[in-house]
Amino acid sequence: EVVGQEHITRTLQNAITGKRLAQAYLFVGPRGVGKTSSARILAKALNCQASKDGPTDNPCGTCDACIEIAEGRSLDVMEIDGASNNSVDSIRTLRENAAYAPARGPYKVYLIDEVHMLSTAAFNALLKTLEEPPEHVKFLFATTEAQKVPATILSRCQRFDLRRLTPELIATHLLHIAENEQIKLDSPAAAAIARGADGAMRDAESMLDQVVAFCGTTISETDVHSVFGFTPRETVLDLAGALVARDTPAALALVKSQAEAGKDLARLLGDLVGLLRDILISKAHPTEAPSLESRLGESISQEKLLVLLDHFGE
């Protein structure tokens, strides 16, 4: 169920089947890419009751243990928010509880989200337990800022870096969700949401939810643009074409029409920079150069593209 992180899911599955489980895992990555979800699924894999031989690489998701973990009420899987439980007392309580055997499954799992928010004293208190943890305890950490986690903690964890997801992966998954939910979602609409989500699947799902609330079960690209103030790709191409042709009145008229339509001009600028970047890359590696550059109406040199990117970057 984790989308686009095969380098992590395969490694964890192999570790479980090969019985080479570490005592602590650290999931690192930007927001909304699946850090906490991966940790929860690993917790299910460790404690799934459907498996008679201990941890399984394919948790059932339907046994009591899996359901309790999914709903956040398992006695053996403690989810702790690092931001609100960052004191040394919280970690001391955790250490004391870790000594007791799990209530139901083979493992007691501590999932600490945003672990970088722990205080220095809390990290030091955690260190001893990480060095010599009881056999029945596993630690799963998730963070967006690994550089704030002390090196002494990092060296005792297996680290997994989750990537931002490509718009293509996000769009495919959104279409899959829409099909399951009996929602008619156009492919261009899914692509528009995926571009706006900026590599975060969670953001994309929230945006899809918002569009469904706005326009029901039939969603077009126009609906997505009107809900989020996105500018259609064609309009960005028209703006870039006017700039390249030095057609100032056309460019200003286009920006004015977008502003009056309530579009997000900061996002329009970002889309324009993204388009110029795509053209620059396609000129260096000419697979899509004809399609993108021809739609501008005239050719543009790499030097001019770099100058434009510098200006708009500022």
The answer to whether 175 and 187 are in contact (CB under 8 A) is yes
Q: What is the mean pLDDT of residues 152-178?
A: 91
Q: What is the mean pLDDT of residues 238-266?
A: 89
Q: What confidence score (pLDDT) does residue 289 get?
A: 46
Per cent of the chain over pLDDT 90 is 32
Residue 232 pLDDT class (50, 70, 90 cuts): confident
Beta bridge partners of residue 219, listed in sequence order: 185
The CA distance from 119 to 64, in Å, is 35
Q: What is the mean pLDDT of residues 244-258?
A: 91
Q: What confidence score (pLDDT) does residue 292 get?
A: 65
Question: Does residue 290 have a pLDDT over 60?
Answer: no
Q: What confidence score (pLDDT) does residue 55 get?
A: 87
The distance of Cα 171 from the centroid of its chain, to the nearest Å, equals: 13
The lowest-confidence range among 63-72, 161-170, 278-287 is 278-287
The CA distance from 175 to 166, in Å, is 15
Alpha carbons within 13 A on the beta-carbon side of 224: 27
Question: Does residue 60 have a pLDDT over 70?
Answer: yes
Q: What confidence score (pLDDT) does residue 235 get?
A: 87
Select, from the ranges 113-117, 289-293, 296-300, the one with the highest average predicted confidence (pLDDT).
Answer: 113-117
Whole-structure pTM value: 0.77
Which tens digit of pLDDT belongs to each residue from 70-101? Answer: 888 888 898 888 888 878 888 888 888 888 88
Q: What is the mean pLDDT of residues 32-36?
A: 89
- At 209, the amino acid letter reads D
Question: Does residue 172 have a pLDDT over 90?
Answer: yes
